[in-house]
Amino acid sequence: MALEHAILVSLLEKPGSGYELARRFERSIGYFWTATHQQIYRVLKRMEADGLLAVREVPQQGRPDKKEYSVAAPGRALLSAWLHEPIEPESLRHDLAVKIRGAAFDDPAALVREVERHRAVHGDRLAHYLAGELRDFTGPGAPTPLDAGQELQHVVLRGGIAYERMTIAWLDDVLATLHRLAGAPPAG
Amino acid sequence: MALEHAILVSLLEKPGSGYELARRFERSIGYFWTATHQQIYRVLKRMEADGLLAVREVPQQGRPDKKEYSVAAPGRALLSAWLHEPIEPESLRHDLAVKIRGAAFDDPAALVREVERHRAVHGDRLAHYLAGELRDFTGPGAPTPLDAGQELQHVVLRGGIAYERMTIAWLDDVLATLHRLAGAPPAG
DNA sequence: CGGGCCATGTAAGCGGTTACATGATTTC
DNA sequence: GAAATCATGTAACCGCTTACATGGCCCG
């Protein structure tokens, strides 16, 4: 399981509460790993019980108190060990591809709206990533030079950008194919 | 769950046994959806019990008998219903990205070999996809013109090819970044 | 005679999703 | 007064992974 490791990395970058982690998983870390708050709270508890994390109760004004987690020495050792062992290259799980192949046994034209919707979502994500890149790494307000951690965050973000661009181009290809099939189903 | 749907699509393309499905999930369908044989056998049983699939015992010579599954009318209806309802755009789950960000708290240079290994795997996959494209869709032995099902299979395969190309380019970017960090960690 | 292929399963465990639950403060 | 934000949880379910299990045929 890599959620543990993602939490360790995120807490090393900056200690925070379960709620804050959940928000990060909707943003930067979430670009390549998703998690809901329910899951995060449960894993945080377990990691704390295992001695991987330290907790500090932080009283707040006008807001509920929070528990700020930070990485303890064993947590850091665990992460280090994981970093040094090989992992399996990812395999895709792409529902939409299943749908596209399935469209051969249904009405291909009915998929157009769905594919367009996905294209819009990926367009939004790309815009969001590009704005983040400008803000944190390449814009006038960004630190120069970047330190190692920032360089690594940037290259990961570039991966997200490349993924979204590739996906958008592919969805355009899919749409063109669907239109071709709808335009001339029997004729060549 | 989309495994059910992936199985329906695969069996509509061609009826087959659990074993054969498992092999397909290592190949064409597996380009965008993975599944192990254990999982497939269990789901096949459930789908048969639910009346989505029909089974036929096929005696064989020199080989164990097999059960050939095909899609029954309710299965086809289920697939059709799924095709007409919207699905969530995928979110990435990329362990390697977690590792890369984690490298900021360890030795970035230690990641080089791991990234190179991933790059090699994706290079192999790309070569494999390109060979399949030539064999089934663009080569001299391929049917012309392609029917709708083949066109859709081809556009999905083009997605896999685009994904692998993008990933390889990104891993090169990651390697360049790691080398830069190793070459001049304190100096700008 | 070892290894790989064909063929089908059972069992345990756990990571992740979904639904449910609470409650104060701030903002429109 | 409604909705969003901050903040933390419990409970049930289920899909998926991993390990274990069997057994004949073919090829080198």
Bridge-based pairing of strands A53-58 and A66-71 is antiparallel
pLDDT confidence band for A188 (50 / 70 / 90): very low
Q: pTM of the entire structure? A: 0.94
Does a structural domain hold residue B151? yes
Does a structural domain hold residue B188? no
Q: Which of B109, B174, B48, B97 is nearest to A29 (CA)?
A: B97
Q: Which of the listed residues B57, B84, B111 is the one where a domain comes to its end?
A: B84
Angle at B157 between CA B155 and CA B163, to 5 degrees: 105
Q: Is the CB of B42 under 7 A from strand C?
A: yes
- Within 135-174 of A, beta carbons closer than 8 Å to B belong to 145, 148-149, 151-156, 158-160, 162-163, 165-166, 169-170, 173-174
CA distance A181 to chain B (A): 7
pLDDT confidence band for B28 (50 / 70 / 90): confident
Q: Is the CB of B38 under 7 A from strand C?
A: yes
Residue B153 is predicted with a pLDDT of: 95
Question: CB B2 to CB A152 under 8 A?
Answer: no
Sequence-distant contacts of A115-118: CB under 8 A, at least 24 apart = A115/A171, A115/A174, A115/A175, A115/A178, A116/A175, A117/B86, A117/B89, A118/A171, A118/B89
Compute the distance between CA of residue B153 and CA of residue A137 in angstroms, rounded to an integer: 39
Does a structural domain hold residue B15? yes
- Say if residue B9 is in the same domain as residue B51: yes
Does a structural domain hold residue A116? yes
pLDDT confidence band for A112 (50 / 70 / 90): very high
Number of domains in chain A: 2
- Say if residue A50 is in the same domain as residue A11: yes
Residue B188 is predicted with a pLDDT of: 43
Residue type (1 letter), B145:
P
> How much is the average pLDDT of B136-142?
94
Q: In this structure, what is the dihedral angle of CA atoms B148, B2, A40, A30, given to the nearest 10 degrees?
A: 0
Residue B29 is predicted with a pLDDT of: 85
pLDDT at B118 over 60: yes
Residue B62 is predicted with a pLDDT of: 84
- Say if residue B108 is in the same domain as residue B177: yes
Q: Which of A30, A182, A120, A110 is nearest to B148 (CA)?
A: A182
Q: What is the CA radius of gyration of chain B?
A: 21
Compute the distance between CA of residue B89 and CA of residue B86 in angstroms, rounded to an integer: 9
Does a structural domain hold residue B90? no
pLDDT at B36 over 50: yes
Q: What domain range includes position B72?
A: 3-84
Report DSSP letters for A116-177, one per residue. Answer: HHHHHHHHHHHHHHHHHHIIIIISTTS-SS--HHHHHHHHHHHHHHHHHHHHHHHHHHHHHH
pLDDT confidence band for A185 (50 / 70 / 90): low
CA distance B64 to chain A (A): 30
pLDDT at B187 over 60: no
Q: B70 has which bridge partners? A: B54
- Say if residue B73 is in the same domain as residue B113: no
- Within 24-53 of B, beta carbons closer than 8 Å to A belong to 29-34
- Say if residue B179 is in the same domain as residue B100: yes
Convert the pLDDT of each residue in B76-87 to its tens digit. Answer: 999 999 999 999
Q: Which of the listed residues A64, A84, A104 is the one where a domain comes to its end?
A: A84
- Say if residue A102 is in the same domain as residue A71: no
**Per-residue burial over B148-161, b = 16 or more CB atoms within 10 Å of its CB, e = otherwise:** bbebbbbbbbbbbb
- Say if residue B116 is in the same domain as residue B68: no
pLDDT at A186 over 80: no
Residue A126 is predicted with a pLDDT of: 94
Residue A28 is predicted with a pLDDT of: 82
> What is the CATH classification number for the domain harbouring A64?
1.10.10.10
From the CA of B38, how many Å to the C1' of C12?
14
Does a structural domain hold residue A136? yes
Does a structural domain hold residue A90? no
- Say if residue B61 is in the same domain as residue B111: no
Does a structural domain hold residue B68? yes
A75 touches chain B (CB under 8 A): no
- Say if residue B108 is in the same domain as residue B168: yes
- Say if residue A80 is in the same domain as residue A100: no
Q: Mean pLDDT for chain B?
A: 93
- Say if residue B146 is in the same domain as residue B68: no
Using CB atoms, which residue from B99, B169, B181 is nearest to A148? B181
- Per-range mean pLDDT, top range of A32-36, A57-61, B75-79: B75-79
Contact criterion met (CB below 8 Å) for B29 and B7: no
Q: Which of the listed residues B35, B57, B84 is the one where a domain comes to its end?
A: B84
Give the count of Cβ contacts less than 8 A between chain A and B: 220
Cβ neighbors of B47 (< 8 A, separation 6 or more) are B4, B7, B53, B75
> How much is the average pLDDT of B4-11?
96
- Say if residue B104 is in the same domain as residue B162: yes
The residue written with tokens 């979502």 in the block is A121
Residue B186 is predicted with a pLDDT of: 53
Q: In this structure, what is the dihedral angle of CA atoms A19, A23, A25, A29, given to the nearest 10 degrees?
A: -120
| Tokens standing for residue B35 | 């599944």
> How much is the average pLDDT of A135-161?
95
